[in-house]
Amino acid sequence: AKYILKLDDDVFVHIPAMVDFLKHGLSPWGARRLILCDPLSTATVKRSWRSKWRVSPQEYPGRHYPAYCAGWAILYSPDSVFLLYREAQREPYFWIDDVHITGTVAKKVNLTHSSLHSLVLTADTMEQLLNDPGARQDFLFGPPNLAEEHIKALHRLSLSASASSSSSSSSTSGHS
């Protein structure tokens, strides 16, 4: 594999745009040392008993986590996955996997995060695309935590966009 994409099940991926991005936006031969994600920096460790993300000082002694990726969408190069896997075998387990793998372990092996922010639809832009037939916006990912009906609507939109782009390219490519 040239890339590994880790996603939550409530994330929409615009597959034709993703394939184009992987071939032309990154590298046709595969990028190296890549972690493309929604990076979070200076996140405070939750100590409140009311938080589902509560972490005791024994589990994690610091007040802030290292920079890490929000886990809803992460694109890795294979070399990054191998480095992270190997180092994770040596590290003490920490139950918040996003922090553990893309934060603590990535820092140990000197991997940095690249932001996918510009490739993600905002909720407002998504609504505009879905409600205005003339609206256009390139994107790879819908916003995180989508309802099923929004995922289906984005899927229909991406199919119609792919169909119109392939019909326009086939109508112009056959004539000289």
pLDDT tens-digit map of 12-60: 999 999 999 998 988 777 789 999 999 999 899 999 999 999 999 999 9
Give the tens place of pLDDT for each residue, 133-150: 888 899 999 999 999 999
Domain annotation covers residue 51: no
Tell me, yes or no, whether 55 lies in a domain.
no
Check pLDDT > 70 for residue 163: no
- Asked if 25 contacts 52 with a C-beta cutoff of 8 angstroms, the reply is no
Instruction: Print the domain residue range for 103.
Output: 1-37+68-165
- Phi-psi map region of 145: left, alpha, beta (phi>0 left; psi -120 to 50 alpha): left
Give the closest residue to 40 by CA, choosing from 110, 116, 108, 91. 116
58 inside domain: no
Give the number of domains in the chain: 1
- Work out the mean pLDDT of the chain and round it to a whole number: 91
Please indicate, yes or no, if residue 23 is contained in any of the structural domains. Answer: yes
Q: Kindly state the helix (H) or strand (E) to which residue 176 belongs, with its residue range.
A: none
Provide the CB-side half-sphere exposure for 82 (13 A, CA). 8
Answer for the pair 75, 113: CB distance below 8 angstroms, yes or no. no
Question: Is there a domain that residue 122 lies in?
Answer: yes
Is residue 100 domain-resident? yes
